[in-house]
Amino acid sequence: MADFFIGGQWVGARAGGTREIRCPADGSLVAEVAEGTREDTEAAIAAARAAFDTGPWPSTPAPERGDILLRAAELLEQRKDTFARAESLDTGKRLVESEYDMDDIAACFRYFGKLAGQDAGRVVDTGNPDAFSRVVYEPVGVCGLITPWNYPLLQTVWKVAPALAAGNTFVLKPSELTPHTCVLLMSLLTDAGVPAGVANLVLGAGPAAGAPLSEHPDVDLVSFTGGLATGKVIAAAAAATVKKVALELGGKNPNVVFADADFDTAVDYAITAIFLHSGQVCSAGARLIVQREIHDEFVAEVVRRAELIRLGGPFDPDAETGPLISAAHREKVEQYVATAIEEGAVLRTGGRRPADERFKDGYFYLPTVLDDVRQGSTAVREESFGPVLTVETFTDEDDAVRIANDTHYGLAGAVFTNDASRAQRVANRLRHGTIWINDFHPYLPQAEWGGYKQSGFGRELGPTGLAEYQEAKHIYQNLRPGPLRWFSGEK
């Protein structure tokens, strides 16, 4: 089994054996892939280091690198069906969602392809005719990219596209649960014109195949998307060699609904915000914070709608949402719900696996609503990363903001209201990296994405997303070099 891409060659595992990839919707075997160890990752780091230190990529003119990314976008569009199918088999998500993801990924390649080379640095006025000073942007070096399973290729390309645009080389370690589209990506990048050694891929578990990317002295930057606990381990490991670190971590995202919001719209978004991809979305609207006077009517309608959601596998045209990623993850969600109920939450619907025999081999879990959760309880503090909506109630604007900000996370949030001034006021006061007004989930490649507080460090997307992968170097030249003679004793 040769699934690692190192130095432009497909190679097999040195010692790690293989791992079965199974579709979470029915447990069927998708493939066996090579399981990497520390040695495999070290070989990939060596290849990326050599390609950076002696290869052509860092000094390739930035517009040429940009053209290669534009070509990658085109190739992805041509291969969309293959990529989308592979993504759905690994994740269990609906094919139509994987197809949307591929469109978003092509847009991301295009955005960074066009951005590459747009900023060639600047001349700085020294005020001194005998000095010349300029700032140039250079690639950081070898990047270690570690990505999760919920949007496997999307999260990966949010890193790969700016890293390549800026002239870096990289080693990618995707989630061990969802490797396929990253394997396909290596061939696509090669076909687009990325030189050998620039893009490297290893597969396997985090502590074995991923950890060297945060520890090895030859890696200059580690960019990680995943859970908070793993992010802390990676940041601590990266500190030993003072790597540049970017962390895109979890969220516990508030969705604030005022009584004056359009009722049907707000209910519809509340449902989509949490139950899309069975809640396995970092920006999922997992905390519904609703104004007291509409609480009963609003929650009743959310529950009614949640009970109508049709579960199904990736290729079931009637399915509206799919399974959880693994048996272990479903157990984690079950434990979260049990703890919430112990702490006083009222289960309004769901809270169990579906009884239908059709789902017995997959990792399905019913859309769940937990009402009357207490502020400060586990249910509102911890990410379940499953189809579980918690409900809190507020009295007025100040109360809404205070409750919505009472979390150590700060990834995203939304406010629903028909009062335009209040919408802006509340959006200004919410301490989360992305705020939606009367909407949920849209993001743009040209606008930054990243977390406040413990949701992360550093930005993806947008022009400063590219800057994450660049060093800004100030070059100052004295045009009349000679002795300074600052100290009279030296005369």
| Per CB under 6 A, 251 contacts ligand NAD | yes
Alpha helices (H) in 35-79, listed in sequence order: 38-54, 62-78
Residue, CB closest to ligand NAD: 206
CB of 25 to ligand NAD, least distance (A): 18
**DSSP at 374:** P
> Which of 149, 170, 269, 359 lies at the binding interface for ligand NAD (CB under 6 A)?
149
Per-residue x/- track, 64-103, ligand NAD (CB under 6 A):
----------------------------------------
Q: DSSP string of 98-140?
A: HHHHHHHHHHHHHHHHHHTTT---EEE--S-TTEEEEEEEEE-
**How many CA atoms lie within 13 Å of 362's alpha carbon, on the beta-carbon side?**
27
Residues 6 or more apart whose CB falls under 8 angstroms from that of 166 comprise 116, 137, 139, 140, 466, 469, 470
Q: Is 16 in the site for ligand NAD (CB under 6 A)?
A: no
CB 391 within 8 A of CB 372: yes
* 282 classed as catalytic: yes
Which string of x and - marks every residue 129-148 that binds ligand NAD (by CB under 6 A)? -----------------xxx
SS3 338: helix
Given the residues 35, 87, 215, 248, select the one marked as catalytic: 248
Q: Which of 37, 175, 278, 368 binds ligand NAD (CB under 6 A)?
A: 175
Alpha-carbon gap, residue 94 to 148, rounded angstroms: 18
Direct distance between the N- and C-terminal alpha carbons of the chain, in angstroms, rounded to an integer: 73
Is the CB of 234 or the CB of 290 nearer to ligand NAD?
A: 234
**CA 2/CA 463 separation, integer angstroms:** 36
Looking at the Cβ atoms of 185 and 249, the one nearer to ligand NAD is 249
Please give the size of the binding site for ligand NAD, defined by CB under 6 A.
33
What stretch of H or E contains 342?
A: helix 327-342
Tokens 């109508």, located at residue: 308
Q: Choose, from 108, 282, 383, 392, the residue flagged as catalytic.
A: 282
Listed in sequence order, the residues at least 6 apart from 1 whose beta carbon sits closer than 8 Å to its beta carbon are: 12, 13, 18, 32, 33, 34
Kindly tell me the burial class for residue 7, based on how many C-beta atoms sit within 10 Å of its own C-beta (0-12, 13-18, 19 or more): middle
In the bound complex, what is the minimum distance in angstroms from residue 20's beta carbon to ligand NAD?
16
Cβ closer to ligand NAD: 148 or 313? 148
Q: Examine residue 434 and tell whether it contacts ligand NAD (CB under 6 A).
A: no
The letter for the amino acid at 316 is D
- Of the listed pieces 17-25, 67-75, 77-85, 174-182, which binds ligand NAD according to CB under 6 A? 174-182
- Is 307 a residue of the active site? no
Between 157 and 267, CB nearer to ligand NAD: 157
CB of 414 to ligand NAD, least distance (A): 16
In sequence order, what are the residues at sequence separation of 6 or more whose Cβ sits closer than 8 angstroms to the Cβ of residue 15? 37, 39
Q: What is the DSSP letter of 207?
A: I
Q: Give, as ranges, the residues between 339 and 398 that touch ligand NAD (CB under 6 A).
A: 383, 385
Q: CB nearer to ligand NAD: give 13 or 423.
A: 13
The least CB distance from residue 340 to ligand NAD, in Å, is: 18
Residues 194-233 as x/- pattern, contact with ligand NAD by CB under 6 A: -----------xxx--xx--x----------xxx--x--x
Residues 259-318 that bind ligand NAD (CB under 6 A): 282
Cross-strand partners of 32? 20
Provide the annotated active-site residues: 248, 282
Binding site for ligand NAD (CB under 6 A): 146-151, 155, 173-176, 205-207, 210-211, 214, 225-227, 230, 233-234, 248-251, 282, 383, 385, 411, 451, 456
